Amino acid sequence: MSAPDAPLDWVELSGRRAKGRRPDYFDNPALDRLYSTVFALAAEVSALRERQDTIERLLDAKGTLSRADIEAYEPDRAAGEERGLATRAYVARIMRGFQQEVEALEASDPPIMDVVERLSRE
């Protein structure tokens, strides 16, 4: 804990760990670390996309903009829904591997060699 008047290093402090042992989700710890990075990056790309959308909307509406305009921008209901849909579609794109694994679980396809062999016979 810092002294009451010392300036805080908010970047350093923000990453503090929660007390309690973190479960290992994978046998290789590198995978656990990689997940943290990949999904933090995913959040950043999503935020960048939103920022780009804000810039485009402000330019459409006003033909010019300032940083203050971007910071003050709040989507109205229709814009909020368009952006929500865009974020949903974005999440669907980066998560395809996981989503298709669920579909595959449902389908229980046989290994491709089974099909190859069957077609060579039938």
Partner 1 sequence: MAKDLPPPYTALTRHEMMPRVTHDEAARFNFLTHFNRYLSGTIGAGNKLAYEKRVLPAFRAEHGRDPEHRYEVRDAMNRDAWHRMWSALKRNSMEMRQHFGRQVVLRQLDELDAMARQYNEHSGQLELDPAIEQPHYQTAVDIHCQPGGYHGEERPGDVTVGANYDVGLFATTGGALGGLNDGGGQAVVNWVKAERPDWSPKRILDIGCTIGHNAVPIAQAFPDAEVIAIDTAAASLRYGAARAAAMGVRNIRFVQASGEDLARWTDGHFDWVQTTMFLHELSTKAMPRILAEAHRVLAPGGLILHIEQPQYSDAMPLFEQFMRDWDAFNNNEPFWSAMHGQDLKQVMADAGFPQDAQFVAGVRAVVDPAIFPPSPDEGKEDYGRAAIWNAYGAWKPLAAETQVAA
User: Interface with partner 1 by CB under 8 A: which residues?
Assistant: 1-4, 6, 8, 10-11, 13-20, 22-23, 25-26, 31-32, 35-36, 39-40, 42-44, 46-48, 50-51, 54, 70-71, 73-75, 80-81, 83-85, 87-88, 91-92, 95, 98-99, 101-102, 105-106, 108
| Torsion sign (Cα): 44, 23, 34, 107 | negative
Name every residue whose Cβ is closer than 8 Å to that of residue 11 and which is 6 or more positions away in sequence.
none
Nearest in space to 36 (alpha carbons), one of 17, 19, 61: 17
CB of 117 to partner 1, least distance (A): 24
115 neighbors 122 (Cβ within 8 angstroms): no
Give the nearest distance from C-beta 68 to partner 1 in angstroms.
Answer: 10
> Which tokens sit at 109?
């396809």
State in angstroms the smallest separation of the CB of 9 from partner 1.
Answer: 9
